[in-house]
Copies of this chain bind each other. A is one copy, B any other.
Amino acid sequence: MFESETYVRVRYAETDRMGYVYYGNYSEYYEVGRVEALRQLGMSYREMEDSGIMLPVLSFSIKYYKPAYYDDLLRVKTIIAELPKTRIKFIYQIYNANNVLLNEGETTLVFVKIQTGKPCMAPEAFLQKLNPFFK
């Protein structure tokens, strides 16, 4: 299992007239979570795309327990619980500064060759970075 953490500060733009972070904006925080998880592994999602493989999202689900507010500094915990094959699942938890779990969710993404549009196996270089965490 591979775990990673990163921080996101809530922007004014991301709040709504309830004063909460709009429910749809956590999709961006989760994106930040998984991209930084890859970076902490020594991978760059941008380079993966530049090398011809993209990762569109197949499914996304989220449960909201407590709202996040303007200017909150949120901790985004991202977990890869299984070695990916053609698909990769990320699990997310977002905590506020008082360490309260605000929401949790998951996304499943698929490795796709940009040129053909067809699913493919996770890149070998990526699996080599992940392997040590799954022994």
Dominant SS at the A interface?
mixed
Asked if B61 and A61 sit within 8 Å, CB to CB, the answer is yes
Known contacts A16-B15, A28-B24, A31-B12: A58-B63 contact under CB 8 Å: yes
Are B18 and A27 in touch, CB under 8 angstroms? no
Could you tell me the distance in whole angstroms from the C-beta of A43 to the nearest C-beta in chain B? Answer: 12
Q: Are A64 and B71 in contact (CB under 8 A)?
A: no
Taking residues whose C-beta sits less than 8 angstroms from the other chain, chain A's interface range is 35 or more
The 5 closest A-B pairs by CB, nearest first: A24-B27, A61-B61, A15-B17, A46-B71, A23-B57
B residues less than 8 Å from A35 (CB atoms): 12, 71
A22 at the interface (CB under 8 A from B): yes
A31 & B19 in contact (Cβ 8 Å cutoff): no
A25, CB-defined interface residue at 8 Å: yes
